[in-house]
Amino acid sequence: MEKLKFYIDGAWVDPATPSTLGIVNPATEETFAQISLGSRLDVDRAAKAARRAFATYSVTDVKARLFWLQKIIEVFRARLPELARMMTLEMGAPITFATERQATVALFHFEEAARVLANYRFEERMGNGIVRREPIGVCGLITPWNWPLNQVASKVAPALATGCTIVLKPSEIAPLSAMMFAEIVDAAGVPAGVFNLVNGDGPTVGEAIAAHPEIDMVSFTGSTTAGVRVAKLAADTVKRVAQELGGKSANIILADADVKAAVTQGVHACYTNGGQNCQSPTRMLIPRAQRDAAFAAAREAVDTIRLGDPLDPASTMGPLVSQAQFEKVQDLIQSGVDEGATLVAGGTGRPSDVNRGYYVRPTVFGDVTPHMKIAREEIFGPVLSIMSYDTEDEAIEITNDTPFGLAGFVQSSDPDRARTVANRIRAGRVYLNGAPFDRSLPFGGYKQSGNGREFGVFGFEEYLEVKAILGY
């Protein structure tokens, strides 16, 4: 499969300088596609196209933007099975998960952006004048490989809805679903130059986007280290920077919770998307007296996981995305063993019945202490650390003892008690008792987990500037 062109100014065009990269299927370790790697010249061409398009697209009315959003939704829905299969091939998500979560949740973001747009008040009277909200301009969007279409949609949908134009760089590890999405935008008839896609790596294309003088805002999802670099590059042109970065979320199981049910739910939440999930509850905090019961429940939960070919609908966990990610997770599992944590389930190496693919054994450590590497670093694999506490205050102290603050989880039979604990967690989103995903509520982090918010009206407003008009 060769996907060597970029989508710029309403057409599929050749890169300025030929350079290719193979895309590897993580289940087979075989290269199954080729893309082009872009350069600063490609970013410049895309940014200038987006700037030209902004002059007219920014003043289109709500009715026109709703029309284009609805066309995207229609074509997206028709191609959803193809999109899901492509994500399975490029990053290893099991096909059932890729269909029901990866692709479907991405579609949700366009539906939500259309809902917000239809009812949004872009002007309101305040004091001796009018407060007006206008599109911020050309937006550079840099997205990761773990939710390759969801993160594209969570940025592109509000940007289009607000009247912005776009230069998108999807992850070069899993770019093919984003390229299919560009085909959807084209089929929907979105005006030329409004949406542009340039493939490439972070140090070249990502940095060119962050620094480009024609780009007014950069929205980045990825590691904290890369986010710091993006922010520094963006500072020279005083861009708005919205970032969703790393996480090390804690799941506090309070003493009044059903321990077996809470631990089972927590294990599966940690392993969502093979653990390659920024808000995964990778630190499980249990009352010290419940240690043995928690370990037993965790082992039972791990035994229900079906690791296998991600194209098999029966598989519930596939491989990690790459050799580099596999090796990083193996090293962190070994560090847990070396630092004296109790291995409750899993461990290093591939599962015994697997001889190819970047498969990791679903792993649970117990007796983890806050100083251990597995308790502090974002692992991005199916590795859970169970930590014990004696008091509720200690549990909250451990939870907040991290440079991250993306999400938190609380389990309790008393909703009011869970809510009180949630208020004390320094994180941008807290789930109580397994609450489901809600696309309308804001998503984003405290501390080194980023700034700005995505989803719903909060994500919509990230792409708007505020203007005061006095005397009218």
Average pLDDT by stretches of 10, the chain with 472 residues: 97 97 98 98 98 98 98 98 98 98 97 98 96 98 97 98 98 98 98 98 98 98 95 97 97 98 98 96 98 98 96 97 98 98 97 93 98 97 98 98 98 98 98 94 97 97 98 94
In a domain, 392, yes or no: yes
Helix axes 62-91 and 176-187, enclosed angle (nearest 10): 150
The Cβ-side half-sphere exposure at 337, using a 13 Å CA radius, reads 13
Exposure of 303 by Cβ count < 10 A (0-12 exposed, 13-18 middle, 19+ buried)? exposed
In a domain, 268, yes or no: yes
Q: Which structure tokens are listed for 377? A: 């670093």
In a domain, 437, yes or no: no
Contact 177, 107 (CB under 8 A): no
Output the domain CATH number for residue 106.
3.40.605.10
Contacts of 191 (CB under 8 A, 6+ apart): 10, 53, 56, 57
Clarify whether residues 198 and 272 are in a common domain.
no
| Residue 309 confidence (pLDDT) | 96
In a domain, 440, yes or no: no
Clarify whether residues 386 and 451 are in a common domain.
no
In a domain, 409, yes or no: yes
| Residue 29 confidence (pLDDT) | 98
Task: Give the strand pairing for 464-470 and 129-135.
Answer: antiparallel
In a domain, 425, yes or no: yes
Clarify whether residues 178 and 278 are in a common domain.
no
Clarify whether residues 93 and 76 are in a common domain.
yes
Clarify whether residues 192 and 98 are in a common domain.
yes
Contact 255, 415 (CB under 8 A): no
Output the domain CATH number for residue 386.
3.40.309.10
Clarify whether residues 221 and 139 are in a common domain.
yes
Clarify whether residues 211 and 316 are in a common domain.
no
| Residue 368 confidence (pLDDT) | 98
Q: Cα–Cα distances in Å, from 172 out to 44, 129, 260, 274, 302? A: 19, 47, 40, 20, 32
Q: Cα–Cα distances in Å, from 463 out to 155, 222, 233? A: 9, 19, 19
In a domain, 60, yes or no: yes
Clarify whether residues 238 and 270 are in a common domain.
no
| Residue 182 confidence (pLDDT) | 98
Clarify whether residues 160 and 112 are in a common domain.
yes
Residue 129 domain boundaries: 2-245+447-470
| Residue 63 confidence (pLDDT) | 98
What whole-number distance in Å separates Cα of residue 51 and Cα of residue 217? Answer: 12
In a domain, 438, yes or no: no
Contacts of 353 (CB under 8 A, 6+ apart): none
Main-chain phi, psi angles of 25, to 5 degrees: -75, 115
Q: How many domains does the chain have?
A: 2
| Residue 3 confidence (pLDDT) | 97
Clarify whether residues 427 and 398 are in a common domain.
yes
Whole-model pTM? 0.97
Strand order in 342-345's β-sheet? 342-345, 363-366, 383-389, 283-287, 250-253, 407-411, 429-432
Q: Which structure tokens are listed for 437? A: 């995903």
| Residue 424 confidence (pLDDT) | 98
Clarify whether residues 236 and 258 are in a common domain.
no
Clarify whether residues 55 and 194 are in a common domain.
yes
Contact 58, 134 (CB under 8 A): yes
- Hey, which residues are catalytic here? 244, 278
